[in-house]
Amino acid sequence: MRHIRMLALAACLVAPAFAEAPMSLKADAVAAPAPVGYEQGLYRFGATYSVMPSEDALSCQSACADNDMCKAWSFVAIVGETPARCELKRGGGRLERNPAATSGFSPTHEAFFAPVLETPTDDLLGEAPEDDTPRH
């Protein structure tokens, strides 16, 4: 019972310190979401026509957007002695998991690679047929 009182007293003494803490600490702990068009942890293999040094994925995406031939891009971060690089691609390539990579499509060609979602027909929605004829 004595330990519970000690813990309660300690909690009361420490609580004001947390109340004075700046709010920005909580915001800094949460990672920002990836920008639109980013595929973090994925590398697009193949169709590479240009490789250049790059600071980050955003500059790689911009380089692709500025080039009409570029359909997709992959940024690979520094790994060991290998410097970071940006690869511009003529096509979407094949996706591979790579924790050091971030890929995406050119904003000017995103619609070409976007999946097409079709509206299901009435038959697929589960409605009963109009007539009483059994269907096989």
Q: Which domains does the chain have, with CATH numbers?
A: 34-112 (3.50.4.10)
pLDDT band at 134 (very low <50, low <70, confident <90, very high): low
The model's pLDDT over 85-111, given as tens digits with 9 standing for 90+, comes to 999 999 988 999 999 999 998 877 766
- Mean pLDDT of the chain, nearest integer: 75
The model's pLDDT over 55-90, given as tens digits with 9 standing for 90+, comes to 999 999 999 999 999 999 999 999 899 899 999 999
pLDDT of residue 119: 66
User: What percent of the chain is predicted at pLDDT more than 70?
Assistant: 53
| Cα 2 from Cα 68, distance rounded (Å) | 74
